[in-house]
Structure 1
Amino acid sequence: MSESTDPRPRPPLPGVPTVASYGLLAVAVAALAVAAFTDLFSLFAEVRLRSLIDGDGGFATAPQQELDAATSLYDTAAWYQTIVYLPCAIAFIAWFFQMRRKTGPLAPDGFHRGPGWAIGVWLIPLANFWMPYRVAFDMWGAATSLPADGSPADGERYRARVWPVNLWWGLFVFSMLLNWYAGRNYGAARTLTEIKEGVVLYMAADVLHILAAAAAVYFAVQLTAMQRLKAVEGPFRTAAVKNELV
């Protein structure tokens, strides 16, 4: 059978851009939503526990039944956060890896490391506070379409807005560091004041977790949309696309 009449679909050639699937994006967004919900539940439990501490006489005069209920709710919320964290991380990293593979052909010279590092960078202690950001930054740049009328005048290089990447990563890192610090303080607490301070720190960390999850969703949705647009239309925006995605 000749090539012109062969009905079998042919795989894309290496290096040819293909659009990213919405499937992994949907899974990642759902996982982030579940994680944010557990953080919200934890925040509620912390507010309830703190209200007992701030009540008349604090723990010393709180009814035992209320104290047991508040402590149990607090421990349950922490347990939910723990069991949700790993599936959420796996879902997000799976999407992250897919986007690295899909954005690679859009800018073959725009990446410092191969696609496999989109997974590996998360597993390196200490370096995982910086290297995933570099991969995300490179993906964002690769997926950014140039203006339809070309580069700015006077030979200036076109600079894409990258605040969604910076916002997501800043909130994520700060929330993780604050959560670690809150855990140290709460674990070493011996007085009522120290317990209260630990709970307040955990409340602040949970608020940052929720904000980081929202920023991660925005970053993921925007990056996926940008990749799909550039893979279909090429490196330059068409005249029909007037509004920036970011």
Structure 2
Amino acid sequence: MPVSSDPLPPPHTRLPGGVRPASQVLLVVVCVLLAGVALTDLFAVFAGLRIRTLTEADPARALDGAYTLYERAGDLQGMVTLPGMVVFVVWFYLMRRDLGVLAPDAFRNGRGWVVGGWLIPFVNLWMPYRVAVDMWGAAAPLPRRASLWPVNLWWGLFVGGTLLGRYASSGYADSDGLTEVREAVAQYVAADLLNAGAAVAAAYVAVRLTAMQRFKAARRPFAG
């Protein structure tokens, strides 16, 4: 027996704040690109481990082959990561816009911070996380609040990989010998592993948040 006597919407009617077909396509594109980011990060991990192995066994061979492979892995990372980040931010903005219709009082910052928070140095280490937490709360089914562990895991891996990657880049640029190179590459390997995990976690957050938004959009106008 229905809890509410409100009439149901006609078929194929998009509910306020609901998931648009274009957004569903965008979600698929986001997940595909994030999978590509994770794979290129793992390829960079393989190339980095190869450098460490060969520099310990045969330094001359390492300079000829391993460095070339490592540079190619870095180029591939740049080619995949940049479009992946752009598309993810576009999805991030559209999700914030739609959730603003469902729960306009759930957000502590204006919509402009959804994009600006990624672009401002230092601010981009915490503002996107704050927006994501607000979106998670806005999409959570009432009255209970969904656990934040997916958002916390994603952001922890992302910030850890970003900071460690910057530190490794500085060490790699200042390295004078094979010992310094091996240390910097080891740091890069750890950063790439964190970044690969962050990409996978970001895809999970995107899928889970979209599902929560769809569920809440379908129930909100007709809740008893």
Question: What's the TM-score once normalised by structure 2's chain length?
Answer: 0.87
Distance 1:185 1:160 in 2: 41
Q: Secondary structure at the match of 2:106?
A: coil
1:123-162 to 2 correspondences below 5 Å = 123-146=119-142, 151=143, 158-162=144-148
Are the equivalent residues in 2 in contact too, given 1:145–1:235 (CA < 8 A)? no
Asked whether 1:104 is paired with 2:106, we answer: no
- The alpha-carbon deviation at position 70 of structure 1 amounts to 1.2
Are the equivalent residues in 1 in contact too, given 2:165–2:187 (CA < 8 A)? yes
Q: What's the CA shift string for 1:113-132, capped at 9, x where partnerless? A: 22232111111111011110
Q: Which residue of 1 aligns with 2:180?
A: 194
Q: Which residue of 2 aligns with 1:120?
A: 116
Q: Structure 1: which 5+ runs fail to align?
A: 1-8, 152-157, 239-246
Q: Which residue of 1 aligns with 2:19?
A: 19
Deviation larger for 27-36 or 113-122: 113-122
Are the equivalent residues in 1 in contact too, given 2:41–2:196 (CA < 8 A)? yes
Q: Which residue of 2 aligns with 1:72?
A: 68
- The alpha-carbon deviation at position 160 of structure 1 amounts to 2.7
- The alpha-carbon deviation at position 95 of structure 1 amounts to 0.6
Q: Equivalent of 1:204, from 180, 190, 201?
A: 190
Q: Equivalent of 1:53, from 48, 52, 55?
A: 55
Are the equivalent residues in 1 in contact too, given 2:96–2:135 (CA < 8 A)? yes
- The alpha-carbon deviation at position 235 of structure 1 amounts to 8.0
CA change 1:130–1:190 in 2 (3 A) is same
Q: What's the CA shift string for 1:35-66, capped at 9, x where partnerless? A: 111111111111111111121xx41xx34xx5
CA change 1:39–1:227 in 2 (3 A) is same
CA RMSD of aligned residues (A): 2.2
Q: Equivalent of 1:32, from 26, 31, 34?
A: 34
Q: What's the CA shift string for 1:7-59, capped at 9, x where partnerless? A: xx9997xxx3222531111111111111111111111111111111121xx41
Q: Which residue of 1 aligns with 2:5?
A: none
Amino acid at match of 2:19: V
Runs of 4+ in 1 over 3 A off after TM superposition: 9-12, 235-238
CA change 1:159–1:227 in 2 (3 A) is closer
Are the equivalent residues in 1 in contact too, given 2:113–2:127 (CA < 8 A)? no
Amino acid at match of 1:132: P
Are the equivalent residues in 2 in contact too, given 1:145–1:237 (CA < 8 A)? no
- The alpha-carbon deviation at position 236 of structure 1 amounts to 9.4
Distance 1:195 1:29 in 2: 34
Amino acid at match of 1:24: L
Q: Equivalent of 1:92, from 75, 88, 93?
A: 88
Question: What's the TM-score once normalised by structure 1's chain length?
Answer: 0.80
Are the equivalent residues in 2 in contact too, given 1:39–1:209 (CA < 8 A)? yes
Asked whether 1:164 is paired with 2:150, we answer: yes
Amino acid at match of 1:86: L
Q: Structure 2: which 5+ runs fail to align?
A: 1-11
Distance 2:222 2:206 in 1: 21
Q: Secondary structure at the match of 1:161?
A: coil
**Identity of aligned pairs, percent?**
51
Asked whether 1:234 is paired with 2:220, we answer: yes
Distance 1:235 1:119 in 2: 29
Larger radius of gyration: 1
